[in-house]
């Protein structure tokens, strides 16, 4: 197969047949396009006679959610496959294995994770995942420590920064997270019931100053190789396993941005319990589970990151007493701010979340949206003063009192 074109299901089968050592030569293969994300095609190829399968993910030259009027680089397929391979080298059990990356077709062939479910769906079904916090805390600590100036050769790190320059995907984030929600942008999709609360953001200069500071961090703070879009739709899960997918937004940025993405999406589900829980007691119980998960993710991340630093840190100046504590406090403060920014954007910006949008009861949906905005703006405004993860949990609890 030659130059770039979007594959048909039949072409996807032929492509998969050519991946070495995967399927039985000459056997029947089936293909189904299952992409439910905002950007790409995803083909699920199976060999019914053996149960073997593979996922082929192909970038389209535009953003699928908007259409051909929003052109988008195919280089994101390279970014995604290279990020997955680095993450696999650091946390082999927490990402899908990549079998093949095809530059010309902007296509990645990877391990099929269909025995897992997308975590957003799992949370909407009220499931609990006791191992998740440990898994994702370890993922965050290892992928960020070993790609940062703390944990890798600082000259090689500069080359990594170059490898993951991702201007078009970063621009999407810069606009959809750090600009459009705070003005009357065309991309916004404002729920009419909460227009008053949304307009209040546009006029809140204290809030916009903090967003400008967080935007500056996103633009300039090349701390570690981020996943870049670590929401619960980018996490596959089952009780004993967690897999992170879809790092096409990967770039060198502030560590708190990825942690904030995880927390924001747990908090969006927390807000949406207005409609998902059947009564007040189960609502409170599930919310406690979500907040407990946030606390455990942070504690795991902090413990593992500090221990990697103590064991593998090579920079002499960074061993100065007090520096590690200062660094962790900055990461915590960034985490508050990015959790807030990533919560707000999902309420009235482009690409919202099913946790809230699938609520059928209009009053519950409106309450959920207002709670999410209150949590998000509260975290953004407080972020530069934060000293402990408890304060984040308090801001969430106060929003539902």
Ligand X SMILES: Nc1ncnc2c1ncn2[C@@H]1O[C@H](COP(=O)(O)OP(=O)(O)O)[C@@H](O)[C@H]1O
User: Could you write out the DSSP letters of every residue in 169-196?
Assistant: HHHHHHHHHHTGGGTT-TT----GGGHH
Q: List the one residue out of 17, 26, 4, 41 whose CA is nearest residue 100.
A: 17
CB 70 within 8 A of CB 81: no
For the CB of residue 195, give the shortest distance to ligand X in the complex, in Å. Answer: 29
- Confirm whether residue 381 is marked as ligand binding: no
Please choose which of ligand X, ligand LNRAV4D5, none residue 325 contacts, taking the beta carbon within 5 to 8 angstroms, the exact cut-off set by kind. Answer: none
- Confirm whether residue 57 is marked as ligand binding: yes
CB 164 within 8 A of CB 250: yes
Identify which of residues 59 and 347 has a Cβ nearer to ligand X in the complex: 59
From the list 37-45, 134-142, 164-172, 383-391, the region that binds ligand X by CB under 6 A is 37-45
Q: Is 39 in the site for ligand X (CB under 6 A)?
A: yes
Query: What DSSP character marks residue 150?
Result: T
- Confirm whether residue 40 is marked as ligand binding: yes
Q: Which of 9, 35, 330, 352 binds ligand X (CB under 6 A)?
A: 35
Q: Is 96 in the site for ligand X (CB under 6 A)?
A: yes
- Confirm whether residue 88 is marked as ligand binding: no
Token code pair at residue 44:
């699920």
CB 57 within 8 A of CB 77: yes
Please state, in angstroms and as integers, the Cα–Cα distance from residue 373 to each residue in 109, 217, 333, 358, 370, following that order.
Answer: 38, 22, 19, 17, 5
Q: Is 347 in the site for ligand X (CB under 6 A)?
A: no
Identify which of residues 272 and 308 has a Cβ nearer to ligand LNRAV4D5 in the complex: 272
**Interacting residue ranges for ligand LNRAV4D5, rule: CB under 6 A:** 37-39, 63, 65-66, 172, 176, 229, 233-234, 246, 350-351
Q: Is 247 in the site for ligand X (CB under 6 A)?
A: no
Identify which of residues 55 and 294 has a Cβ nearer to ligand X in the complex: 55
- Confirm whether residue 111 is marked as ligand binding: yes
Please choose which of ligand X, ligand LNRAV4D5, none residue 351 contacts, taking the beta carbon within 5 to 8 angstroms, the exact cut-off set by kind. Answer: ligand LNRAV4D5
Q: Is 256 in the site for ligand X (CB under 6 A)?
A: no
Please choose which of ligand LNRAV4D5, ligand X, none residue 35 contacts, taking the beta carbon within 5 to 8 angstroms, the exact cut-off set by kind. Answer: ligand X
Taking CB atoms, the residue at the shortest distance from ligand X is 37
For the CB of residue 31, give the shortest distance to ligand X in the complex, in Å. Answer: 13
Q: How many Å apart are CA 228 and CA 257, to the nearest integer?
A: 7
Identify which of residues 157 and 346 has a Cβ nearer to ligand LNRAV4D5 in the complex: 346
- Confirm whether residue 358 is marked as ligand binding: no
For the CB of residue 20, give the shortest distance to ligand LNRAV4D5 in the complex, in Å. Answer: 29
Q: What is the largest CA-CA distance in the chain?
A: 65
Restricted to residues 102-121, the positions that interact with ligand X (CB under 6 A) are: 110-114, 118
Q: How many Å apart are CA 173 and CA 222, to the nearest integer?
A: 15
- Confirm whether residue 192 is marked as ligand binding: no
Query: What DSSP character marks residue 67?
Result: E
CB 96 within 8 A of CB 115: no
- Confirm whether residue 229 is marked as ligand binding: yes
CB 264 within 8 A of CB 376: yes
Please report the beta strands in 88-244, taking only residues with DSSP state E, as ranges in sequence order. 98-102, 107-110, 117-118, 224-226, 235-238, 241-244
Cβ burial of 121 (10 Å; 0-12, 13-18, 19+) is middle
Identify which of residues 130 and 167 has a Cβ nearer to ligand LNRAV4D5 in the complex: 167
Q: List the one residue out of 231, 217, 270, 206 whose CA is nearest residue 351.
A: 231
Contact residues toward ligand X (CB under 6 A) are: 34-40, 42, 55, 57, 96, 110-114, 118, 234, 245-246, 248
What residues are designated binding site?
40, 57, 111-113, 229, 246-248, 345
């Amino acid at each position: 197969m030659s130059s770039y074109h979007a594959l048909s299901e039949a072409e996807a089968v032929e492509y998969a047949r050519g991946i070495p050592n995967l399927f039985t030569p000459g056997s029947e293969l089936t293909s189904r396009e299952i992409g439910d994300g905002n950007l790409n095609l995803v083909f699920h190829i199976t060999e019914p006679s053996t149960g073997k399968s593979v996922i082929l993910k192909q970038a389209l030259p535009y953003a699928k959610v908007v259409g051909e009027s929003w052109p988008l680089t195919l280089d994101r397929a390279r970014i995604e496959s290279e990020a997955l391979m680095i993450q696999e080298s650091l946390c082999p059990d927490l990402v899908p294995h990549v079998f093949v990356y095809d530059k010309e077709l902007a296509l990645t062939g990877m391990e099929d994770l269909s025995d897992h479910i997308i975590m957003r769906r799992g949370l909407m079904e009220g499931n609990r995942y006791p191992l998740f916090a440990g898994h994702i805390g370890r993922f965050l600590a290892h992928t960020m420590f070993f790609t940062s100036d703390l944990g890798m050769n600082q000259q090689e790190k500069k080359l990594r920064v170059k490898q993951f320059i991702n201007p078009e995907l970063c621009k999407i984030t810069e606009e959809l997270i750090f600009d459009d929600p705070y003005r009357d942008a065309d991309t916004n999709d404002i729920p009419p019931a909460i227009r008053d609360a949304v307009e209040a953001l546009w006029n809140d200069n204290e809030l916009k100053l903090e967003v400008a500071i967080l935007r500056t961090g996103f633009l300039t703070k090349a701390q570690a190789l981020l996943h870049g879009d670590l929401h619960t739709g980018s996490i596959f899960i089952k009780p004993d396993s967690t897999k992170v997918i879809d790092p096409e937004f990967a770039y060198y940025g502030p560590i708190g941005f990825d942690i904030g993405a995880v927390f924001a999406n747990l908090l969006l589900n927390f807000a949406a319990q207005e409609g998902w829980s059947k009564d007040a007691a189960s609502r409170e119980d599930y919310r406690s589970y979500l907040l407990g998960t946030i606390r455990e993710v942070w504690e795991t991340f902090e413990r593992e990151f500090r221990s990697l630093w103590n064991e593998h840190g090579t920079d002499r100046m960074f061993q100065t007493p007090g520096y590690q504590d200062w660094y962790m406090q900055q990461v915590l403060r960034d985490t508050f701010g990015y959790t807030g920014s990533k919560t707000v954007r999902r309420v009235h910006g482009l690409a919202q979340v099913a946790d809230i949008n699938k609520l059928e009861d209009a009053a519950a949906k409106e309450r959920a949206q207002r709670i999410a905005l209150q949590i998000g703006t509260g975290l953004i405004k407080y972020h530069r003063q934060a000293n402990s993860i408890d304060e984040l949990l308090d801001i969430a609890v106060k929003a539902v009192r």
